[in-house]
Structure 1
Amino acid sequence: MADQCCAGKSGATALNDPMWRRILWIALLINGAMFLVEIVAGVAADSRALQADALDFLGDSANYAISLTVAGMAIAWRARAAMLKAATMLAFGLWILGSTIWGFIDGSAPHAETMGMIGVVALAANVAVALMLYRYRTGDANMRSVWICSRNDAIGNLAVMGAALGVFGTGQGWPDLLVAAIMALLAIWGSAEVFRHARRDLTAA
């Protein structure tokens, strides 16, 4: 009960905090730029893990835009927005899973050096965003969904770097595909977590 009260106060404070909106705008710009960088690098390197991470950056950009739109609205509308974001996370996860399965069937030959370099840049971007959003992680479902996306992204970047090492060490593409599958499952799990929190907010509303 105490946690719920604290979460409610944190959410109310954040909604009236110009810093919250400023952080979301910064996160939106960072994610949009990283989408462009990673999608180009992912295609050039034939890395499904990088392409998956690029689409994740694109999805997060849309999520931050939604959060900016509903930040001043009633909690019911913020919860509905969180449900929409949960649905996009689920769709993203299922798309990656399908692409990964196709990669196992069709084969792939990713470029480990490109994966590693872009992975480091993406990790730095996501850690910076996650640190900025950390103070708002216990707000309403909408705020929590933003935090979960950023947290998952940082974990995903570590996995991409691990895949680059795996591809470099084995000379094969399966580490790249394995990481892409893990990222897909992480997105699916995150969507379920956001959806549960949003349902609780809607019930309370």
Structure 2
Amino acid sequence: MGKSCCETPEPDPAGHNDRQWRLILWIALIANVAMFFVEIIAGIASDSRALQADALDFFGDAANYAVSLGVAGMALAWRARAALVKAATMLAFGIWVIGYAIYAVLAGSNPRPEMMGVVGTLALLVNVSVALMLFRYREGDANMRSVWICSRNDALANLAVLGAALGVFGTGHAWPDLVVAAIMASLAIWGSAEVFLHARRELAHG
């Protein structure tokens, strides 16, 4: 009984097309679109590169969830191809964030830690909730795994944003905000590599 209570449930082989999977994706999609608007406005108002980068990450995730809903129920090869597209999106996001951080170093910035902290906490609550809902699907196909990795990376990025807010507040300088932007870029690039390799294996076996 202990094993049955503690063991992580195995994903349904047809889980990519079940109602619960689709419902979770719809909830995640709506939540990410809403947080994109919240964070992009707050990021511009607070002059925080980390918040703006996180806002674009929310936008990219919303697109990823939409793609996942679009290919749900299709053959494994099509879901793997969709995962490749999402891996490319994650990679592009990572490269963009690095470039934006470099621009901020050259142009200068003056982020407001109070707003960063409030919005970062809200974003963390949203992403942790989504990640918990997706946890049982983390070992599914490349398409499911890509959705889980995005959610996991987002929660980690939100913790980093909160750390940046504390750093900016404590030092009075913008460099913690820029360091977090670089960390978020690294997470995106790392996650894209994981999804790409998984999807390639599925296509090879397809």
TM-score bin, normalised by smaller chain: over 0.9
Distance in 1 (CA, whole Å) between partners of 2:91 and 2:189 is 5
Q: Number of aligned pairs? A: 197
User: Matches of residues 71-90 of structure 1 in structure 2 within 5 Å?
Assistant: 71-90=72-91
Aligned twin of 1:197: 198
Deviation at 1:11, TM superposition (A): 5.4
Aligned twin of 2:181: 180
Q: Does 1:171 align with 2:176?
A: no
Aligned twin of 2:160: 159
What are the superposed Cα offsets for residues 125-171 of structure 1, whole Å, 9 maximum, x if unpaired? 00000000000000000000000000000000000000000000000
Aligned twin of 1:120: 121
Aligned twin of 2:3: none
Aligned twin of 1:94: 95
Distance in 1 (CA, whole Å) between partners of 2:189 and 2:16 is 27
Aligned twin of 1:4: none
Please give the root-mean-square deviation of Cα atoms over the aligned residues, in Å.
0.9
Moved over 3 A (4+): none
For 2:110, what is the secondary structure of its paired residue? coil
Structure 2: where are the runs of 5+ without partners?
1-9
Distance in 2 (CA, whole Å) between partners of 1:106 and 1:11 is 51
Aligned twin of 2:56: 55
Structure 1: where are the runs of 5+ without partners?
1-8
For 2:11, what is the secondary structure of its paired residue? helix
Distance in 1 (CA, whole Å) between partners of 2:99 and 2:12 is 36
Distance in 1 (CA, whole Å) between partners of 2:17 and 2:203 is 21
Distance in 1 (CA, whole Å) between partners of 2:12 and 2:66 is 18
Aligned twin of 1:105: 106
For 2:13, what is the secondary structure of its paired residue? helix
The 8 Å contact of residues 11 and 140 in structure 1, kept in 2 or not, is answered as no
Deviation at 1:16, TM superposition (A): 3.6
For 1:31, what is the secondary structure of its paired residue? helix
Distance in 2 (CA, whole Å) between partners of 1:120 and 1:175 is 17
